[in-house]
Amino acid sequence: VDKRWLTPREQRAWRAYLRSEVVLRAYMNRQLMADSGLSLTDYDVLAHLSETSSGRVRHYELGEALQWEQSRVSHQLSRMQRRGLVGRECCAGDARGAFAVLTQEGRTAIEAAAPGHVAAVRSVLFDGLSEADVATLERICTQVIERAAGDCAQPDDEQPDDEQ
């Protein structure tokens, strides 16, 4: 219980961070589901697809963007395909590859869901924040992503500040 511990403020911040994510995801899931029958993960996939001009994205790109593993991408797309929200296309030029493509039904779904979703994000997060807060949040989270992904290969056998 010394230099290796978090300060009280750090401890509060760390727990608030962990819990905010749980609560926020649950909230967004309920909101989206009630509003449009989509989960937050469904929404993220559709949002990504709808932002490309072609409405097509390689599986591995989706995985990188969402920080998902390959198999999660595969399973998620299978489920969404079953519901008609996305389709699959082979990749000319790299026969290993596959595209996920937005169907008309998928496009309709996200367009219907978007306004309510954005309003919810605002009301639960941004409405209470200043410009500076938003910038700080982005900076902090981006840094976390870099650091956690940087050590991605191995979490380093963690004896980091090895005690005396």
What residues line the site for a copy of itself (CB under 8 A)? 4-6, 9-10, 12-14, 16-24, 26-27, 30-31, 34-35, 44, 66-68, 114-116, 118-129, 131, 133-145, 147-149, 151-152, 154-161, 163
In the complex with DNA, the residue whose CB is nearer, 97 or 115, is: 97
In the region spanning residues 97 to 136, those forming contacts with DNA, defined by CB under 7 A, are: 97-99
In the complex with a copy of itself, the residue whose CB is nearer, 16 or 91, is: 16
Mark 55-84 with x for binding to DNA (rule: CB under 7 A) and - for no binding: ---xxx--x----xxxxxxxxxxxx-----
Q: Applying CB under 7 A, which part among 47-55, 88-96, 110-118, 129-137 lies near DNA?
A: 88-96
Residue of 51, 14, 47, 56 lying closest to 28 (CA atoms): 47
User: Residues, the chain, total?
Assistant: 164
Asked if 31 contacts 87 with a C-beta cutoff of 8 angstroms, the reply is no
Query: Which of DNA, a copy of itself, none does 149 bind, CB closer than 5 to 8 A by kind?
Result: a copy of itself
Residue 68: how many other CB atoms lie within 10 Å: 18
Among 1, 2, 53, 95, binds DNA (CB under 7 A): 95
- H helix intervals, the chain: 8-36, 40-51, 59-66, 70-82, 104-124, 131-150
User: For residues 10 and 68, what is the distance between their CA atoms, to the nearest angstrom?
Assistant: 28
In the complex with DNA, the residue whose CB is nearer, 89 or 111, is: 89
Asked if 120 contacts 30 with a C-beta cutoff of 8 angstroms, the reply is no
In the complex with DNA, the residue whose CB is nearer, 134 or 145, is: 145
- Calculate helix-pair angle for 104-124, 40-51, nearest 10 degrees: 110
